[in-house]
Chains A and B, each alone.
Chain A
């Protein structure tokens, strides 16, 4: 903004001596250390956990990580900005397909097979990591397109548009072509075979190389959480929260609500897309169009509602509980969604702000963080 400030008091405070707080932590390291610590922890997890708890439970921990990325990113839209997206699995599936398309056909054309792995942090894994990021970018593009109508729509219409997006994506993915099986066929393939992309149609994308491990999952968890946390505690996040609280007042205070809503959508879709990349390359998973449907989306909506709108640790905890519990209660599979449904209804009747409201877990102990408001969501 080029408008000059007309208040001398404020102007002098800008040029005045920096306060002690500002003098603290100003190196590049201050921006990066949480990431470094998180990635180091992910590496520890990767090498230690399978030996401690075995493959089966490690796999559940991996699923929890992916659910965390989904729930925390969805919370940027639903919790912080106060919009209501119920098509998050659509972004995830789109990103997953994009990433899998790259690694599968990349592996086929470079190494002639999709089975090669190349070891921890080998070339294959880097290709996989980059593919996940590309999947995130593709999903972010879709997030931009889906977010645009949100500028003109009130919350509940937006819910329909996002739900429609997931369902439409499912229908479109079902129309895709058969997967090209081997390197020979790939070389012989005509260009027309790539439109629509050969990702398996209704039966799903089989044969995707299995790169996903605890290290990569928790590296992406770290990135997602750090981004969400920094967003929440910055001007940008404050602008998003103000939109949730009161749109009219928000724009009267100079917040460009259109820009912020779309930004929230794009960011959330990016991480969902990256999570989709992780999901697509997980052992035992065959990515299929039905993953884009509403059922999977609802899982993530429930995590954000249960965890608390805007509470990052709250939704992470919800992701842990709601991913681990069904694994423990496999025999009760048909009651799982009934339980979820009752949980949603009861939460709205009894504690609509979620378990943690807008607070982080550590703010619940007495004497920490801002005082809790009596009642207000």
Chain B
């Protein structure tokens, strides 16, 4: 139990630290207005979900891989990042291939792989991969503040946006606190048995809750002194560049044609 909690906290620190890394300036090699990126992502996801052939998701996967190399993002990092969808893809392909009926594609010992199920599984798997890569590209190439101001431009409720801003702001701070409390618990013989570990983990969450309230009180105090009246100002978006709009339209027409094929 001790070992797995250690790993869990280390993993979550790694995961959350990676979020920060993704938004370091080196990764931004996709100079397109964030609103256009989100619009393009929306259309790509809708077209991928509604496509009836394997060609469209394959095209999207190819374009995503091309963009990743253009953006000079380490492919290994992306694979680690999309490990969950990759795992799901593997399971779906396996279950669909084995649990179907009909024409047998090939047989290995007593396991039969059915053609119909395999093709159906492949279709879903490619859709999952295409969507995961598309979302990854947008999130890896767009700073969080740009996503927020774009969402505001798309008229996402202001309250929701404000909560996103606060969440992003305090995410890293709370994770650091979690690690400090965890180390302190271990030194005081926490996590020594299974029952003790569940209790220690509960106390960790409780201690974070207390920290949350304490931070909240001091943060609001500080914000009030700076004129906070319950609303966070959000950056206004500039007008679109013609070349970017035309480029995006051409891209949409091309992928629309591929979808139609």
Chains A and B belong together in one complex = no
Give the B-binding residues of A (Cβ under 8 A). none
Give the A-binding residues of B (Cβ under 8 A). none
